[in-house]
């Protein structure tokens, strides 16, 4: 049964009409026009759909509207501060940490969650945080370097 869900997305209160079992991903992309979050596998295996919910990475392909209600959600669209890119976004550009770019939003959101919790993570911590984000293009070494660079920038 459809109902109205009040969600806080990227700091803005939004309303979504849908079923409580609807995946958050569908609400973000189809109902709210936030297409940065990608559909990859639909089974929590690739990380393309990653968002932050209350500061923790979540797979929006399996998180339902009902589960997201009343929680703070950050998508890739909410990572930058207006026109000012987040240090992670700048580092991904500087380090050429993407090829096709499909996985990039999920990687950046996941890395942001890590840096918010641990501003100076070890390489092992970065690898662990990103282990559920797949990149078929093979850019993971550059992704690791980008996250390390962003950590150095934000630590200054």
Q: Given this structure, which CATH class describes domain 87-155?
A: mainly alpha
**Which segments of the chain belong to CATH 1.10.150.120?**
87-155
pTM score, two decimals? 0.95
pLDDT tens, per residue, the chain with 156 residues: 789 999 999 999 999 999 999 999 999 999 999 999 999 999 999 999 999 999 999 999 999 999 999 999 999 999 999 999 999 999 999 999 999 999 999 999 999 999 999 999 999 999 999 999 999 999 999 999 999 999 999 887
- Write down the CATH number for the domain with range 2-78: 3.10.20.30
Question: How far apart are alpha carbons 6 and 50 in whole angstroms?
Answer: 20
Question: How far apart are alpha carbons 139 and 18 in whole angstroms?
Answer: 37
DSSP secondary structure code for residue 77 in this structure: G
Burial class (CB in 10 A: 0-12, 13-18, 19+), 154: middle
**Which segments of the chain belong to CATH 3.10.20.30?**
2-78
Question: How far apart are alpha carbons 146 and 144 in whole angstroms?
Answer: 5
């Amino acid at each position: 049964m459809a109902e109205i869900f009040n969600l806080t997305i990227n700091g803005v209160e939004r309303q979504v009409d849908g079923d409580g079992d609807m995946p958050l991903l569908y609400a973000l992309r189809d109902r709210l026009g936030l297409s940065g979050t990608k559909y990859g596998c639909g089974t929590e295996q690739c990380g393309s759909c990653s968002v932050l919910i209350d500061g923790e990475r979540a797979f929006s392909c399996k998180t339902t509207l009902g589960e997201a209600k009343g929680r703070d959600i950050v998508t890739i669209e909410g990572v930058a501060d207006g026109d000012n890119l987040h240090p992670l976004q700048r580092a991904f550009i500087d380090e050429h940490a993407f090829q096709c770019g499909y996985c990039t939003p999920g990687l950046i959101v996941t890395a942001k969650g890590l840096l918010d919790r641990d501003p100076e993570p070890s390489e092992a911590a970065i690898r662990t945080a990103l282990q559920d984000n797949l990149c078929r293009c093979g850019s993971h070494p550059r992704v690791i370097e980008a996250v390390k660079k962003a950590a150095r920038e934000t630590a200054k």
